[in-house]
């Protein structure tokens, strides 16, 4: 069983979604959340974030989620940090593509703010 998640590096370009998710993850889930508005911001924050989990939006201007993940893999602090993508694109082929990039799973948008922490824990706990 994996160690417990304490800290999440969360990347979401939409301010409203980022605010709601951060509040829900901290208030309901008890997580520490480092919220970033772009892939570039996440790359700057990653070395010092001490993240147990990366939670990445897929569609973002500039660096999208997959490109952000690729760049995060080049940073020692996040080279092997587990990742979950969040996106409205949740067709089976798309989910398979994200899992092929190394994602544990995909959380569909729009998400339930009251249920997102439990969904993350369910995905996390399903890992070997």
Q: What is the DSSP letter of 23?
A: H
Tell me, what's the pLDDT at 1?
Answer: 53
Strands lying side by side in the sheet with 7-11 = 32-36, 7-11, 53-57, 83-87, 105-108
pLDDT digits (tens, 9 = 90+) for 63-110: 999 999 999 999 999 999 999 999 998 999 999 999 999 999 999 999
Write down all domains in the chain, each with its CATH number in brackets.
7-122 (3.40.50.2300)
**SS3 helix, strand, coil % of the chain, rounded to 5?**
40, 20, 40
**What pLDDT does 5 receive?**
85
Question: Are 117 and 24 a contacting pair, CB within 8 Å?
Answer: yes
Q: What is the CA radius of gyration of the chain?
A: 13
pLDDT tens by residue, 24-59: 999 999 999 999 999 999 999 999 999 999 999 999
Mean pLDDT (whole number) for 13-25: 97
Total-model pTM: 0.95
């Amino acid at each position: 069983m994996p160690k417990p998640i304490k800290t999440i590096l969360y990347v979401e370009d939409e301010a409203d979604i980022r605010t709601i998710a951060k509040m829900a993850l901290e208030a309901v889930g008890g997580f520490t959340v480092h919220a970033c508005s772009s892939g570039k911001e996440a790359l700057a924050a990653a070395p010092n974030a001490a993240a147990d989990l990366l939670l990445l939006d897929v569609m973002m201007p500039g660096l999208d989620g997959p490109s952000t993940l690729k760049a995060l893999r080049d940073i020692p602090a996040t080279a092997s940090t587990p990742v979950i993508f969040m996106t409205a694109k949740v067709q089976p082929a798309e989910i398979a593509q994200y899992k092929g990039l190394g994602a544990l799973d995909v959380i569909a948008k729009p998400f339930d703010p009251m249920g997102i922490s439990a969904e993350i824990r369910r995905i996390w706990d399903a890992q070997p």
